[in-house]
Amino acid sequence: MHASAFLPRTAALTTAVTAAALLAVGLASPAALATEPVAPGADYKAAYDTLGPQRLTPAQQRLAAAKQAEASRAYDGLRTRAVLAGYKLSGGLHQSQKTSYWCGPAALVITQSARDEVAGRSQQDAATLLKTNSNGTAWYGININVPSPTGYPMVDALNHRLPGAGYVPKALPYTPTATDKANFKQHITHNTDNDYAIAGNAWEVPGGPHLVGHPNIEIFHWVAIDGYNTDTAAAQVNYLDPVGGVSTSVISWAGSVPKSAHISSDTITTIMGGRGYVW
């Protein structure tokens, strides 16, 4: 987790500037901008993002397409069955992050535990694998020490630690579209039903939506999303927040953050806009 103070802009951004910034990082199109209301905080993200274009490997493209087809079919079946059973969880085992910037290592071990049910893994080992530093854990652009790294450290770490898991990255535009939100519902049901969690890379900004208990400042943060509400076909999801349980001497605002919380799937998709999630 990395938080920074709000950086006021010197001039108002126009729609044209926002569109140009979105196109520059390859995350949106004029058609999407014309049909989707701009998400709260999207102009801030467009103005300050330094990530640049992201690319999937050919293998990731093939795997993502196959998983999407499977997830879509399964989700259609879920809606047809109209299951009323409350929350279904893959069962991640929470850990509070050990430092102010180890949300990534904590999210890695939590996400991994949803599959293999092993608690108490070393966050130091996870931080070393992810190449986490005082700026946090990168979403993209870091090759870690695994065979055939792809530049997505969380993806590569999960696939290295869970052979056969087939995790892929899903990048999101600053303003996630209706399709992005629908896909996320399909992805969380797919992963949960197959006993996997999702690692979500939140980018919270002033004026935009925030995770439960988080203050209205800019925060880059990893969480593990480990379940969904079956009554609403995943309109709400459950996530585990590594800030929960952290001493306020480490993170001043941690006292108001729960270890586990429910949130609208559309809201968390918007929160991850400009970065994305690993599913």
pLDDT in tens, 45-87: 999 999 989 999 999 999 999 999 999 999 988 877 766 789 9
The DSSP code for 14 is P
Kindly report the number of other CB atoms within 10 A of residue 82's CB atom. Answer: 9
Q: How far apart are CA 160 and CA 172, in angstroms?
A: 24
Counting Cα atoms < 13 Å in the Cβ hemisphere of 113 gives 21
Residue 49, token pair as written in the block: 């993002």
Residues 141-182 have pLDDT tens digits of 999 999 999 999 999 999 999 999 999 999 999 999 999 999
Core vs surface per residue 223-235: b (16+ CB within 10 A) or e? bbbbbbbbeebbe
Query: What confidence category does residue 259 fall into, taking pLDDT thresholds of 50, 70 and 90?
Result: very high
Residues 203-221 have pLDDT tens digits of 999 999 999 999 999 999 9
Asked whether the predicted pLDDT for residue 14 surpasses 60, the reply is no
| Amino acid at position 237, single letter | V
Residues in the chain: 279
- pLDDT on residue 85: 81
Residue 46, token pair as written in the block: 């467009």
> What does 131-164 look like in DSSP terms, one character per residue?
T-BTTB--SSS---SSSS--S-HHHHHHHHHSTT
Chain centre to alpha carbon of residue 104: 11
Q: Sort strands 2-4 and 236-240 into parallel, antiparallel or unpaired.
A: unpaired
Our CA dihedral for 40, 43, 45, 47, rounded to 10 degrees, sits at -160
Q: Could you tell me if 262 and 254 are in contact, meaning their C-beta atoms sit under 8 angstroms apart?
A: no
Nearest to 67 by CA among 231, 243, 247, 187: 187
Q: How far apart are CA 273 and CA 268, in angstroms?
A: 9
Average pLDDT, the chain: 89
Q: How far apart are CA 114 and CA 90, in angstroms?
A: 5
- H helix runs in 168-255, sequence order: 178-193
- pLDDT on residue 82: 65
Asked whether the predicted pLDDT for residue 111 surpasses 50, the reply is yes
User: 130: which residues sit within 8 A by CB, 6+ positions away?
Assistant: 104, 105, 108, 137, 138, 142, 144, 153, 154, 157
User: 24: which residues sit within 8 A by CB, 6+ positions away?
Assistant: none
